[in-house]
A and B are shown apart, each in its own frame.
Chain A
Amino acid sequence: MNPLQRIGARTLAPPIEVAGFGLGLALGVLRRLPQIPRRLRTTLDQMYLCGVKTLLVVLFVGFFIGMILALQLGYELARYGQQEAVGFAVAVAMVREMAPVMTAVVLAASVASAMAAELGTMKVQEEITALDVMSVDVCGYLVFPRVIGMTLMAPILTNLASIVGILGGAVIAQTQLGLDFSGYMRNAMESLSDNSFFGLPRGVYCSQIKALIFGFTIAVVGCASGLQAQNGASGVGNSTRAAVRNSIILIIVLNFFLGKLVYT
């Protein structure tokens, strides 16, 4: 190998390998969808783990994001005497962008990392090998419940984040911008009043699609990183880091394309 080839092999090959493995895992999960009844209990367990345990963080972050949006947008709008529109602006930003993305980031940091660490530890302690040897379907037994659980939980958490975010905005609207609560809420709901898109407000539709796809992606990335862990404890550390980093990158990139898809 000449030096150029070596650089190529070191920098390009590993991400392509990881991506290929992740795609394979994603397809594997989709192919196993008919197994849902059999995996219902473990899937519900995973929903509990990823939902209930991150709920407080999601609500907390969502509330602050809503306050931040109202504060910054409110002062700017006030310069043009348009502060009544702050409800509209907060609702649009929260529902379409901030709630899905921030929820996904919280899930990536707390759940994808945990999945990678858990499966990574199993991998380096030969537990995954043991499952293989016993002909237990690793994708069905370990990956499927995690991915489906997260995919179902992410939209629920995202909706909750949207709601507390709009409420957080209301607090600022009332205390800092001198708007009354009912006016703010009426204005916010206006942004969600177009039922043009398959009977749902387009904004909600956008947020649910994003949340579903983010949840699926984060869990697949978490599981894939874990299953590729190598070389003991430090390998588990590397795979955990890779899981968080890669899922955040994917969230941001997918967010752009999904937004474009729904709004063009």
Chain B
Amino acid sequence: MIRFENVHKTFGQQHVLRGVDFSVDKGKSLVIMGPSGSGKSVIIKHLIGLLHPDQGSVHILGKDVASLDQAGLQQLRKDMGYLFQHSALINWLSVFDNIALPLRETTSMSKNSIEAKVMEVLGLVKMEDARHKFPSQISGGMQKRVGLARALVTEPSIILYDEPEAGLDPEMSASVSHMMRRLKEEYGMTSVTVTHSVNCALTVADTLAVFEHGRFLISGPPTEVLNSDHTRVREFLGAPID
């Protein structure tokens, strides 16, 4: 479903990705952890065609992302949801309108069914009460949840989460993690998640990978990775919770 093959990416002098390989099967979930500034968001941006590899290839649903034209890319993106690290909500639209936007602009759904769908995803992230507010009137964590609702509203089959738990309190963070897991189990969504939270990784991941210096240090089932004796991985993740 998602295949990353020997991807290299350089910004100026900075070699951010140095031969990254991974694949994610349908309905599975890959979680990437790694130090700040290591290039995790850059990986996510390659998946959705915002960046293209200098070398190597990215295949999504059997298509080479770099070779797609604008129309092909748009078609592919309709199947994908992306939760931005900094939410990226449209600041002059209310919470409701932000979430309704992709439906209004890219589908021919009726007004009523759009409203029903938006209220449904707002319920999922527990934000119904804030639907008339504007992004600047809600907290960072709430913006994150609205961003999540917006990513879900088009019912994508692949979803990319860039730090879904950032800015959320522990309870909300756990609830978002459980929601991510439910989306995988109930709707069979495929996902790639970047996170700094071990709890989130444990809840969501089928495969956990640790990324540093442009490469994966290790990848495998989360418990295995957390208990690995790779020194750098132990150092980075801290002592595993027994």
Which A residues touch B106, using CB under 8 A? 134-136
- Within the complex, the shortest CB–CB distance from B61 to chain A, in Å, comes to 15
Given contacts A126-B84, A129-B50, contact A134 B105 (CB under 8 A): yes
Whether B88 is near chain A, meaning CB under 8 Å from some CB there, is yes
Annotate A127-155 by CB proximity to B: 1 below 8 A, 0 otherwise. 10111111111000100000000000000
Whether B86 is near chain A, meaning CB under 8 Å from some CB there, is yes
Inter-subunit contact B77/A135 (CB<8 Å): yes
Which chain A residue lies CB-closest to B101? Answer: A136
Annotate B27-71 by CB proximity to A: 1 below 8 A, 0 otherwise. 000000000000000000000101000000000000000000000
Instruction: Give me 16 A-to-B residue pairs in the complex whose CB atoms sit less than 8 angstroms apart, sorted by A's number.
Output: A122-B91, A125-B86, A125-B88, A127-B90, A129-B84, A133-B82, A134-B102, A134-B105, A134-B154, A135-B74, A135-B77, A135-B78, A135-B102, A135-B106, A136-B106, A137-B105
Whether B95 is near chain A, meaning CB under 8 Å from some CB there, is no
Which A residues touch B105, using CB under 8 A? 134-137, 141
Inter-subunit contact A122/B90 (CB<8 Å): yes
Q: With the chains together, A144 CA to B18 CA distance in Å?
A: 41
Which A residues touch B118, using CB under 8 A? none
Whether B89 is near chain A, meaning CB under 8 Å from some CB there, is yes
Given contacts A122-B90, A136-B105, contact A130 B84 (CB under 8 A): yes
Which A residues touch B150, using CB under 8 A? 134
Which B residues touch A122, using CB under 8 A? 90-91
Q: With the chains together, A131 CA to B74 CA distance in Å?
A: 11
Q: With the chains together, A134 CA to B50 CA distance in Å?
A: 12
Which A residues touch B74, using CB under 8 A? 135
Q: Which chain A residues in 170-199 approach chain B with CB under 8 Å?
A: none
Inter-subunit contact A133/B48 (CB<8 Å): yes
Q: Which chain B residues in 142-165 approach chain A with CB under 8 Å?
A: 150, 154
Which A residues touch B154, using CB under 8 A? 134
Inter-subunit contact B88/A130 (CB<8 Å): yes
Q: Which chain B residues in 81-114 approach chain A with CB under 8 Å?
A: 82, 84, 86, 88-91, 101-102, 105-106
Q: Which chain B residues in 207-221 approach chain A with CB under 8 Å?
A: none
Inter-subunit contact B77/A127 (CB<8 Å): no
Q: With the chains together, A136 CA to B82 CA distance in Å?
A: 14
Which A residues touch B101, using CB under 8 A? 134, 136
Which B residues touch A141, using CB under 8 A? 105
